[in-house]
């Protein structure tokens, strides 16, 4: 069951990781950009932050899943460290731009707080995870990066929850407000229980 879930996570991460390519081949009127107000859409700073966010966030999502699995880390430690550096840099860049974008989130203040909170937690857990790795605190590093990738994986869960809620409620606006929180809070709760279970195994 764990292997099946891991494969499912990897497949979803790889599929959504290439999501930024959608904007290169599909007209903006058929994408998320069509939902933005003209004054936001034509704001050069916002558009730059948007592209930076989805490109580097997609990269982090695309490579981050491979960091999990003790056998991979043990067998390919140098690759793990190399991918980890790329992941951390990508997350820092994407999370900072995400925090800025959060102030312009559809759905008003509730959505804005949700996405800004996500960006801040994503940034802090990733930087803290890197610091713990440099301090050779492997257990805490692993736990923090589990939280980090739970935030990264919000890109996937957002795209699963939103169409589901929109179909059930028939209200895209309210569904998006809920998803601003639903896309990441359950992810962090799952990460918490995974970390707790892992800690119990280590200290038995």
- Residue 30 pLDDT level (bands cut at 50, 70, 90): low
Q: What is the pLDDT of residue 200?
A: 65
Average the pLDDT over 8-29 and give the result. 79
Show the DSSP H helices in 33-171 as ranges.
38-41, 44-64, 70-75, 77-102, 109-134, 138-152, 154-169
* 27 compared with 114, residue with greater pLDDT: 114
193, pLDDT greater than 60: yes
- Residue 203 confidence class, pLDDT cut points 50, 70, 90: very low
10 CB neighbour count, 10 Å cutoff: 14
H or E segment and range at residue 195: helix 185-202
pLDDT tier at 204, thresholds 50, 70, 90: very low
Q: What is the mean pLDDT of residues 85-99?
A: 97
Residue 41 CB burial class (10 angstroms; 0-12, 13-18, ≥19): middle
59-73, 82-96, 135-149: range with lowest mean pLDDT: 59-73
Helix pair angle (185-202, 154-169), 10° resolution: 130
Q: Give residue 99's pLDDT.
A: 98
The separation between the first and the last C-alpha atoms of the chain, rounded to the nearest angstrom, is 23
Q: How far is CA 46 from CA 31, 68, 186, 187, 195, in A?
A: 16, 33, 28, 27, 36
Cβ neighbours around 147 below 10 Å, total: 22
Residue that wins the pLDDT comparison between 77 and 154: 154
d(CA 68, CA 46) in angstroms, rounded, equals 33
> Which percentage of the chain shows pLDDT scores above 70?
95
Q: What is the pLDDT of residue 201?
A: 56
Give the angle subtended at the CA of 16 by the CAs of 15 and 17, to the nearest 5°: 90
């Amino acid at each position: 069951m764990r292997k099946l879930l891991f494969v499912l996570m990897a497949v979803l991460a790889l599929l959504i990781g290439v999501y930024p390519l959608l904007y290169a081949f599909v007209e903006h009127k058929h994408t998320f950009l069509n939902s933005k107000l003209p004054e936001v859409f034509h704001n050069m700073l916002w558009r730059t932050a948007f592209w930076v966010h989805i490109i580097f966030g997609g990269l982090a999502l695309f490579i981050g899943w491979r960091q999990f699995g003790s056998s991979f880390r043990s067998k390919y430690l140098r690759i793990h460290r190399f991918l980890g550096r790329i992941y951390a840099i990508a997350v820092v860049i994407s999370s900072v731009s995400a925090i800025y974008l959060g102030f312009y989130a559809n759905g008003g203040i509730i959505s804005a707080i949700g996405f800004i909170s996500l960006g801040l937690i994503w940034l802090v857990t990733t930087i803290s995870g890197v610091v713990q790795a440099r301090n050779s605190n492997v257990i805490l590093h692993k736990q923090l990066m589990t939280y980090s990738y739970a935030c990264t994986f919000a890109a996937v869960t957002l795209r699963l929850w939103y169409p589901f809620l929109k179909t059930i409620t028939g209200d895209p606006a309210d569904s998006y407000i809920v998803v601003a929180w639903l896309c990441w809070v359950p992810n962090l709760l799952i990460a918490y229980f995974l970390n707790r279970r892992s800690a119990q195994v280590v200290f038995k």
